[in-house]
Each structure stands twice: as structure tokens, then as C-alpha cells.
Amino acid sequence: MSAPILETRSLTKRFGGLTAVDNLSLTLPSGRLHAIIGPNGAGKTTLFNLVSGLLTPSAGRVLFRGKDITGLKPHEISRLGIKRTLQIKSVFNQLSVADNLWITWAASNRVLHPFRAAADDRDARQRVERTLEQTGLTALARRPAGTLSYGDVALLEIGMALISDPQLLLLDEPTCGMSPAETDRAVQKIRDMAKNIDIIIIEHDMPVVFEIADDITVMAQGAVLASGNAEEIAADERVREAYLGRPEDEDYVEEAAHA
């Protein structure tokens, strides 16, 4: 088997006195959809920030396909093929939907030409049109992204992930705040993408996690609490303990265990 898609070695991030990620060593093999779950403050988003370069680790290394990417800038990491979404939906609000896709594509594929009109690039335009169709946003292509509904913004996020041809996609709570119908659509899209792309997903919605994830890693207090497939996690005592006091999540765990 080839090098794991993502590996962290003793990864640590401290904010003042608080250790958000604590000596975390993970090895995520390629070709599987990974989910990271855990209670609030477990360090999941911090982990994503460390991998994507928004934060620099206090100690430890991050390896992408065996290559050390620790300390690289966000855009450098992005150009290696690691793309991510942010927990709070974040697109370019004043650009049109099509331009959001366009710039995402151009950022990783083209030298930014200073004088030629952006609209003249035919390859780019076709690719944008295809992605619009894939995400069902064609009708909204010219709308400023800031005027979209929440669910459409989430679709746009997924479209931006698609068009950037990622090798590894980090999704931070992609279904957060979605209606059930929107969640179903998003889950379907994520599944499709996972056929060709390695995906790591942070998700609070337990049914979603148990439905789509091949492997689950449970984090608590910056460290790995447990890892395994859905059945193993659902049966794990420590995981139940970590979620105690959050009955709705416990229900999900039980539900999944009986499923």
C-alpha cells in the first residue's frame, strides 16, 4: 500500500495555557472516507487549521502522502491538492456564484494573467458550467454569493471543492445548519466525491457520520480517544463516556449500534 494520505506525528498546538491539540499521532490511509467526531473543544477544527496551514503547530509534523508539509503557507498547501471548507460557511460574498467557482479553479490551475479578460478563458468557462450543473446551481450562476440561501451556499462550497480537483478534501461540518432535505443532497454529493477523492470530514450529525464514514476517529481534549469503523465506535465505552451529558448524541450512538 502506498504512503498514507495524511499523517500527523506528535502534533501539538497550544494557545497560551490551553492545549488544543495534544501530541496527536494519526495515520489515515488513502482511499477511505474518514470522519472525525468528538465533543466541542476536542480540537477537531484546530487539527484542520494545522493541516491546512492557517495555524502553525507548536510541535510535531504533518505529512501529506509522506511529504512533510509542516509550516507551509495556506496557499502552498492548497496548491499541493489539500482543499478545505470552513465551519462557518465562507464563500466570496460579493462575487457571483460562477465567479466563485471560476476563481477557485483559476487559483490552482492558472498563472493569473493581469490583462486578458477573465471571461475569455474557454476551458475555465466550460469547467465552471459543468460544475454548476453538477451542483444544480446553474440558475443561480450570476447571483452574488452573498444573496444565496444557506443551503445553496453549502452547495456552492461543495462546488468549489469539486472544481478545485482536490487530492484530499477537508470538510468542516458540511451539513451544519441544513434542512433534512439539504442534508440528504449534500450527503449524496459527498459520497459521490469520495469515490475519487480522499475526504476527511468533521461532523456533529451522528447519523450522517455513521452513514457515510468508512473510518471514524473520536477526539477528546486534543487527543485520539478511539478509532475504528462505525460498529466499533458505537460499541466503545470510552466514546459513550466522552459524550455523556449530551443525550442526543448518545441516542445516536445507540441507534447506530442497533442498526
Please give the full DSSP string across 72-104, using - where no structure is assigned.
--HHHHHHTTEEE--SS----TTSBHHHHHHHH
| Closest distance to other proteins from the beta carbon of 165 (Å) | 11
Q: Closer CB to other proteins, residue 28 or residue 98?
A: 98
| Closest distance to other proteins from the beta carbon of 111 (Å) | 8
Residue 199 near residue 192, CB atoms below 8 Å:
no
- Give the footprint of other proteins on this chain (CB under 8 A): 52-54, 73-75, 78-79, 83-84, 86, 90-95, 99, 102-104, 106-108, 110, 112-119, 121, 160, 164
Query: How far is Cα 205 from Cα 176, in angstroms, rounded to an integer?
Result: 8
Q: Closer CB to other proteins, residue 140 or residue 233?
A: 140
Residue 35 near residue 217, CB atoms below 8 Å:
yes
| Closest distance to other proteins from the beta carbon of 109 (Å) | 9
All three cell numbers of 144, joined, read 452574488
The alpha carbons of the chain give a radius of gyration, in whole angstroms, of: 19
- The CA distances from residue 37 to 45, 58, 64, 177, 219, in Å, are 10, 23, 21, 17, 6
Q: Closer CB to other proteins, residue 115 or residue 245?
A: 115
Q: Closer CB to other proteins, residue 105 or residue 243?
A: 105
Q: Closer CB to other proteins, residue 94 or residue 138?
A: 94
